[in-house]
Structure 1
Amino acid sequence: MTENTDDPKIEPVEIAEPLRRAIGERYLTYALSTIMHRALPDARDGLKPVHRRILWAMRRLRLTPTGGFLKSAKISGDTMGDFHPHGDSAIYDAMVRLAQDFNMRYPLVDGQGNFGNIDGDNAAASRYTEARITALTEALLEGIDETAVDFRPNYDGRLEEPVVLPAAFPNLLANGASGIAVGMATNIPPHNLHELIDGCQALIQDPDLPDEDLVKLIPGPDFPTGGVIVEPRDSILDTYRTGRGAIRMRARWSVEDLGRGGWQIVVTEIPYQVQKSKLIERLAELIQLKKVPALADVRDESAADIRIVLEPRVRTIDPDMLMGMLFKNSDLELRFSLNMNVLIDGRVPRVCSLREVLRAFLDHRRDVLQRRTAHRIEKIDHRLEILEGFIITFLNLDRVIDIIRYDADPKAALMAESWGKKHRRATSEDDYQPPKPGKGELSEVQAEAILNMRLRSLRKLEELELVAERDALRDERADLAALLADVGLQWARIARDLADVQRQFGKGTEAGRRRTDFADLAEVEEVPLEAMIEREPITVICSKMGWIRAMKGHVALDQEMKFKDGDEGRFVFHAETTDRIVVVGANGRFYTLMGANLPGGRGMGEPVRLMIDLPNDAEITDLMIWRAGEKLLVASTAGDGFIVPSDEVLAQTRAGKQVLTVKEGVRTALCRRVTGDHVAVVGENRKLLVFPLADLPEMAKGKGVRLQKYKDGGLSDAITFTLADGLTWKDPAGRTRTEPDLTQWKGARASAGAMAPRGFPRDNRFT
């Protein structure tokens, strides 16, 4: 049931109307409003409505590049009150971005005061800052008073605002744009204005210019923060051809020689849209977590420019290798996702190629040129009409004076007079002869202009100037009419205007030179961690409760170690700082630690679970030094196992790598280095089985195959050995025993085996 109302602003909705349709129609209206009036830029002037309204409000306030500044609060207030009925903070934030030289390649607002910085600090409040437009903004607005673009009523109908700006240069690509609409987004990087105009000139000369030639003129983005683009040329070409893609950019760095073999890396330019403070925090985190062991320290020595100093831990490492690791682990390298989704003619959102965006701009410039030319012709016609009237006045000066002096309605008399007839000068009012109705050679506009003429304009010199002005305007009108009639002349004029902009703002100026360079992406070899760490001996100690530490040097393994109350030692072995330490979890996952990253040996160490994501209910099955090229025997308590290459157990993250698949109630029983040609397996039932190593498959991960058959219980231990040397173990007395003849225990894999020989350890362990 709907409520009856006479309010035209309230739209009744019938209950019978499906809710899905009602919501869909309203959401579609909201989506279109967001796409067209908020998030996506116009391909013609490269601006969103809020930016266009800010610049228009600043022009109405008569802010010029050479004039005085005005409080930002006044600018955002006028914009909000007259054109953009949204929050003043949103308007001010948009204006601040237009003034930030690290965000805008060519700032459109000249700010005075604190407008934020590259560290990510916000701008001061609008009452503390001042602003005015820049010379480039004047180029965007040039011709707006000459009906170059359409105007529409503002939100309350009191004023008018431009639908689009005339835009004397391709601002969309020069300054870029980003925005998130409903169901679509845009992300366009800034480019070099000089190169963009070169591309426009080439398209004017040859509209069918191949994409390859166009990209040679516009090789890639030109970011305000500089940096180096390392994306391959073919990839950039494909990105510009489709309007979608990604461009990889890196910081600019150099090596400073400190003498005596010492050096440091200095970063002077960082990637676009990276906050310097967060970048340094990330680099400090890498040092703290020892993810890049070769990096010893980072310092921010920036002032007006950027200077980030990186100190290596080892002098012998290659700087390119160190930077390669930092590029992988920090924002010193980023991929800028390009998505040129723009509004064509202010109405249709479309992902455009580089050619299509430039074409939309050029077509807009031609429309602006035609409209400005027509406007100028209209003004010339109006002026010529007045000049003709003035010339008639000078040729019939006495008669004009008589009419003005004696006629009761001089305007109508001037229009009624036939100026081809000669009259004598009246000496008095009685002598004055009123004009007789004639064909009328003066229009109302001419008559009004004659009546408003000043007496000092009646001198002879003024008449000559009027004739000269008339002739000049006639010549100009002829040229403009020829321009409107000839498409070739129009494109030549557009090319000339673009060349003027290029001379004023191109690479010959400090702001116009290219800031971002290009470099080939050199394939840096994978940097071995050992090369970034100073090699020193350590002794790794891990307790039964999982507290791990590394003592400097190789201490005696049998010396007394201190542990926490209720804890005791479990693993202790000699290693080096360059070694990788493999942690085998009972859950079948393998984790990797660096010897250089282990806590020092002065205290009790740290829980290993703080370094890796080992679940609390999973114990450490084994701890060993990783060796390249080895093979490992892994097995579960259920008696399943296989051979795995050591390269397959290295983990790159804290989460580790799942190698052995175990079910609930089953855990990893062992991980042993493979030596020899046979495998010996003993179960909890004390039955021993020996079978050839070749019977076990080599796998990267999985459950494995059955090693030994059990009626009840599970696997206790397994070991690999050389059959010719016999099987060795330690008896309960600690003596080493060897069984040379294993015929009794040899059998097929997955068989039950026979009872272990007399003297076999009671814990069913070989070691």
Structure 2
Amino acid sequence: MARKPRTPKDGNTVSEHVTTVPLDETTRQRYLNYALSVITSRALPDVRDGLKPVQRRILFSMFHNHRLVPERPPIKSAKVVGSVIGEWHPHGDSAVYDAMARMAQWWSLRAPLVDGHGNFGSLDGDPPAAYRYTEAKLTPIAIELLSELNKDTVNFQANYDGKDEEPLVLPSRFPNLLVNGSTGIAVGMATNIPPHNLSEVIEGAIALIDDRNLSVSDLMKSIKGPDFPTGGEILNNRTELREIYETGQGSIRLRGEYTVQEKANGQAEILLTSIPFAVDKSTILERIGELIVTRKVPQLVDVRDESTTDVRIVLEVQKGADPQLAMAYLFKNTPLQNNFSVNLTCLIPTTGTTTTRPQCLNLKDFLEQFIDFRFETVKRRFSYDLRILEQRIHILAGFKTIFDALDQVLKIIRQSEGKADSAEKLKRRFNLDDIQTNAILETPIYKLSRTEIKKMLNELADKKKQAKDLQTLLASKTKLWNEVKKELEEVSSTYGDKRRSKIGRRQTEELEFDPEAYIVKEDAVITISTDGWIRRVGMVKDLSKARLREGDALLAALIGSTVDTIVCFSNFGSAYTLRIGDIPPARSGYGDPAQKLFKFKDGERIIAALSLDPRFYIIPQELKKKKAPVLPLFDGAATGPDEPVSLGQVIGVSSTGMGVRFDLAPFKEPSTRLGRKFMKVREREEVVHVEAISLTSKTPILSVVSQKGRVLLCKAEEVGVLSGPGRGVTVMKLDSSDRLLASRLLYEKDDQLIALKQEGAKLPISIRKYQPVGRGGKGHALFKRGSLKGVQTLPVELPVLDSENGKNGK
């Protein structure tokens, strides 16, 4: 569609054309172009030199622009970054400097390629100093990637502005991608290649050169597994590692190493000597410190960092505690053990072109790609050397031609009209070409002495011999492969070192992780307020001194061991069980809000709580002596005179007059933050009361009272037991305008539920005053006019543990 020509202010007509294209096709094509650019030019490394474009350009700039070889002094990192972004990599300076700093970190690369001077970060996760402060040059092993660039070993391409050329790939003399690994996220794919030991990788490459039919399993005789720069212990067995190397994907389980040593006072301490790869040491120290402070690992009392260039983290062990037990917890709950997800995706060359494509390789593919590339690189290097030799031989052959006729040469030059005339006459007289003639004319006169002539003739003979050797070498694949092997062996002998990461579990027996072993077993008091503040403190004697917010009141006070649980019941019919040891100890303040521990809905609140410490559910000694029968409500709960009964049962009623009775046992184990349902309530309905039924008392009477002053008493056993959450049965029928206000279990004739009228009058409800009837009725009327505003709450008392039998003395 053509737009009408517009006329600018100067009066000239400008013709504009707008082409209409489908949005979906254009978007798809442009996104594919972007994705391809990210994959091939940014995020993924090349299998041949193991570098991403930014890394390659940094090393090339340091070598080509600044000649920062190991023998020369370093220069400011800012100067390197400037030349990289100015000539080779048109991106941000921070991206270039970050990549450069990473290549200088010994804990990031197995064989660092940049020799950094100054602060280039630390194992604690500290960032490097600004590039105006640091200096850098190339490491010796980095020269093995770059030294053959000037021998036409690799192809070059124009840089981004077309004013210079940069290499497509560096002529690496060792498998850098496997040695140093790589990490990157592209579009729709990613790579995560672990580092390996240089000597092992080269040994595997040489073995593959000798026998191209080797399998991945055969190569693993040389390459045992990843070798991380920070050491650590690899927990995968050989079968698991083989599967990772065969598929190119998998997960490596890595943990730090430690030793246990005895101090002079007999107390043990744990010495951490390595940490997992890509984990900040400060993160591990911070996490261990938190666990010690919150007493999640009672076996440890302190942690300190004594690291210098090596990792040395000291953990002080509680006297008499088991260090292996502490380490089992740390491996489970800290970054001291983690997983490294392997993804062997990289760029491989496309046959017959200079382009690359991404592919996930196995271990054998990796080494094949490298040794094939190395073979071509060595071949091109020798071909270049041969061309240089042949050029020199050609010039020396011209000199040899004139050596026996030097007088004629000098005569021709003296009689010529200049350099061009001399050249033409020499070419005709001695049958020389332009190159030979120009070399002769440019030679100083002293070079034609007898001694110099002899040197040139000897050089000619030597060069011919070298050229013949190179021709023989280039004509034989076997000799070329032997040369490749020889150079790989030289790199291995020069830069190889011992493995840092150990493979396989330590021989000493280790304890399995058991969560119960890490809880400090001690009694604690848990107070819960009506506003839902939960507080865990040590044993207290006076609840009146409990710290509460203004306007708040104490709802419950529980005692239990930190290894046991409490269950909190909400007005929405949910029960939330948590271990007492998981409640943060409160040294000051009001404790923690229930919403922090549980996932409450809007308007949900705690209405009751029980301790599930087993000591509260053992038949008291005096009842054993009297052989008192167990309450019929719990028939079968006790199997013998010395057997503990079940946790008992709980009864709950809702605001619509419905009641449920259920066993407490299913609620003993900790729940999720969402809790477990014990009663189903409808919209605008809520649970108003939850109470545990005493195990060893008389059959309790359930008393309920409504807002309009209706009261009903019935036997608690008439409320049927539910095996799962439900609405229950009708305890008292209510008018549509009425709602159940409160409930309580009455055991003795003097037990009372005291209702409070709006005017303040107290109306006691007891078995002595009201005869129990069957459930489901409308009950008795307390008065003819008015309504109730509530019931009198019972004072919260602290349970007492009987030291003789461990039972609640009350």
| Normalised-by-shorter TM-score class | 0.7 to 0.9
Aligned position for 1:44: 48
Q: Which piece of structure 1 moves more, 96-105 or 592-601?
A: 592-601
Q: Aligned letter for 1:82?
A: E
In structure 2, distance between residues paired with 1:445 and 1:632? 109
Aligned position for 2:359: 350
Q: 1:686 aligns with which of 702, 713, 716?
A: 713
Structure 2 residue 383 is matched with structure 1 residue 374: yes
Q: 1:490 aligns with which of 466, 477, 480?
A: 480
In structure 1, distance between residues paired with 2:476 and 2:255? 48
Ranges in structure 2 where 5+ consecutive residues have no aligned partner: 7-14, 350-354, 616-643, 705-711, 754-766, 781-790, 795-809
1:689 CA displacement:
5.7
Aligned position for 1:617: 604
RMSD across aligned positions (CA): 3.8
Q: TM-score, normalised by structure 2?
A: 0.77
Q: Which piece of structure 1 moves more, 630-639 or 187-196?
A: 630-639
**Aligned 1:447-596 pairs, distance under 5 A:** 447-507=437-497, 513-520=498-505, 524-529=511-516, 531-550=517-536, 552-553=538-539, 555=541, 562=546, 564=548, 566-587=551-572, 588-595=574-581
Q: Which piece of structure 1 moves more, 89-98 or 639-648?
A: 639-648
Structure 2 residue 407 is matched with structure 1 residue 401: no
In structure 2, distance between residues paired with 1:642 and 1:543? 25
1:471 CA displacement:
3.0
In structure 2, distance between residues paired with 1:480 and 1:190? 36
In structure 1, distance between residues paired with 2:750 and 2:132? 86
Aligned position for 1:703: 725
Q: Aligned letter for 1:377?
A: L
Q: Aligned letter for 1:415?
A: K
Secondary structure in 2 matching 1:311: strand
Aligned position for 2:239: 234
Taking only the aligned residue pairs, the percentage that are identical comes to: 37
Q: Which piece of structure 1 moves more, 169-178 or 542-551?
A: 542-551
In structure 2, distance between residues paired with 1:579 and 1:368? 70
Structure 2 residue 127 is matched with structure 1 residue 115: no
CA offsets per residue over residues 324-349 of structure 1, 9 Å max, x none? 21222221112111112211115201
1:379 CA displacement:
1.1
CA offsets per residue over residues 562-584 of structure 1, 9 Å max, x none? 45465544433443344444444
In structure 2, distance between residues paired with 1:5 and 1:321? 83
CA contact (8 A) 1:153 1:161 kept: yes
Q: 2:255 aligns with which of 215, 227, 250?
A: 250
1:602 CA displacement:
7.8
Aligned position for 1:435: none
Q: 1:184 aligns with which of 189, 194, 206?
A: 189
Secondary structure in 1 matching 2:263: strand
Q: TM-score, normalised by structure 1?
A: 0.81
Structure 2 residue 307 is matched with structure 1 residue 317: no
1:445 CA displacement:
1.6
Q: Aligned letter for 2:220?
A: V
Aligned position for 1:268: 273
Structure 2 residue 25 is matched with structure 1 residue 21: yes
CA contact (8 A) 2:688 2:742 kept: no
**Aligned 1:296-335 pairs, distance under 5 A:** 296-312=301-317, 314-335=318-339
Pick closer, same or farther for the CA change 1:640–1:625 going to 2, 3 Å. closer
Pick closer, same or farther for the CA change 1:620–1:307 going to 2, 3 Å. farther
In structure 1, distance between residues paired with 2:47 and 2:650? 62
Q: 2:670 aligns with which of 650, 653, 673?
A: 650
CA contact (8 A) 1:380 1:477 kept: yes
CA contact (8 A) 2:651 2:662 kept: yes
Structure 2 residue 93 is matched with structure 1 residue 88: yes
In structure 2, distance between residues paired with 1:231 and 1:153? 46
Q: Which piece of structure 1 moves more, 277-286 or 381-390?
A: 277-286
CA offsets per residue over residues 152-189 of structure 1, 9 Å max, x none? 11111111100100000111111111112122221212
Q: Aligned letter for 1:331?
A: P
In structure 2, distance between residues paired with 1:255 and 1:692? 60
Q: 2:368 aligns with which of 359, 367, 374?
A: 359
CA contact (8 A) 2:612 2:668 kept: no
Ranges in structure 1 where 5+ consecutive residues have no aligned partner: 419-439, 508-512, 720-727, 757-761
1:745 CA displacement:
9.8
1:357 CA displacement:
1.7
CA contact (8 A) 2:530 2:606 kept: no
Structure 2 residue 424 is matched with structure 1 residue 412: yes
In structure 2, distance between residues paired with 1:372 and 1:411? 34
In structure 2, distance between residues paired with 1:330 and 1:472? 67
Q: Aligned letter for 1:375?
A: Y
Aligned position for 1:391: 400
1:3 CA displacement:
5.5
CA contact (8 A) 1:660 1:668 kept: no
CA contact (8 A) 1:683 1:764 kept: no
Aligned position for 1:212: 217
In structure 2, distance between residues paired with 1:54 and 1:4? 51
1:669 CA displacement:
5.5
1:643 CA displacement:
4.2
Q: 2:750 aligns with which of 696, 721, 732?
A: 732
Q: 1:100 aligns with which of 99, 105, 129?
A: 105
Secondary structure in 1 matching 2:610: strand
CA contact (8 A) 1:581 1:623 kept: yes
1:128 CA displacement:
1.5
Secondary structure in 1 matching 2:254: strand
